[in-house]
Amino acid sequence: MKVAIYSRVYEQDQKADIQRLTDQLYQNAIKPVFFRGLYEQIKDQIHFTATPELFESSTDLNDAFECMISLGGDGTLLDTVTLVRNQKIPLLGINFGRLGFLASIGREELDSAVASLVNHTFVKDERTLIHCDSNTPMFHDTPYALNEFAIHKLDTSSMIKIHAYLNGEFLNTYWADGLIVATPTGSTGYSLSCNGPVVFPDSGSFVITPVAPHNLNVRPIVVPDNNIISFEIEGRADSFLCTLDSRKAIVKKDVQVAVKKEDFTVSLLRLNENNFLQTLRNKLSWGLDRRN
């Protein structure tokens, strides 16, 4: 069995945890394959039982991998989505960041995480993705995201006017700083910070949430994810910003943009005892009333 290990940046306080993870993988006959960028940062810090294999891109991955382990926060795990693509390699997030909503397994649970890999006692959650199409090249060969697609004005430019359509039928015109289309997974991210609703990961929906809307009677709306959502943008500036998770593209306002559900999904691994409701309560203090 082998697993891929990815992280953006190595920090000194992670040394003991990465060493423990590496040792336990070797001890359980699991071969770790490190992302080259990570390996270059840790090769003089971590003792390896054997010289590890390395990978650099999605072309180095295949179905021989049991999973990809993400070491970091939620942003790091979102990076791995662009690495595994449609290869059906599950993602296991170890939280070295702050909130860790997607990367929900804490450092103190490393032993349990390795044991779940060895014994195959983990739970696999299928998550839908959002796909972006446009008549201008954007996002190269990874035009999809786990959390959200967003349209946003540039810097200090005035608000933009976004005409939104569902399967060609007019939905609404948003006078706002921007507009978010979130997956169920992304409903607890950027959309939530703009007062969007939390929806369950398996709800089969998109959440359309305006960013700082000019009209106060414009509210977020949940639509089925079998819709194609298209946009026309107007504004005083010539360009605006499109984002897929943490990736961005600056495009002209006459671009034609549409989003839909991606044809494939990604799998997130979790320990048996960690479910969506527990994560809501633990990470977002869902329902917490300090008066009681």
What is the distance between the alpha carbons of residues 282 and 292, in angstroms, rounded to a whole number? Answer: 17
Q: Return the ∠ at Cα 76 (arms to 70 and 82), rounded to 5°.
A: 90
Q: Which of 71, 75, 38 is nearest to 56 (CA)?
A: 38
Q: Which of 31, 33, 92 is nearest to 61 (CA)?
A: 33
Tell me the percentage of the chain whose pLDDT exceeds 70. Answer: 98
Task: Give the model's pLDDT for residue 287.
Answer: 72
Q: Which of 99, 63, 89 is nearest to 6 (CA)?
A: 89
Q: Is the CATH number of domain 2-127+265-284 3.40.50.10330?
A: yes
Task: Give the model's pLDDT for residue 145.
Answer: 97
- Which token pair is 135? 């008549």
Q: What is the pLDDT of residues 226-271, one digit of tens each?
A: 999 999 999 888 899 999 998 999 999 889 999 999 999 999 998 8
Residues in the chain with pLDDT < 50? none
Catalytic positions are: 74
Please check whether residue 51 is in contact with residue 26, taking contact to mean a CB–CB distance below 8 angstroms. Answer: no
What residues have CB less than 8 Å from 58, skipping those under 6 apart?
A: 82, 83, 84, 85, 87
Q: Where are the domains of the chain?
A: 2-127+265-284, 130-261
Q: What pTM, to 2 d.p., does this model score?
A: 0.92
What is the distance between the alpha carbons of residues 50 and 28, in angstroms, rounded to a whole number? Answer: 14
- Which token pair is 66? 């049991």
Q: Is the CATH number of domain 130-261 2.60.200.30?
A: yes
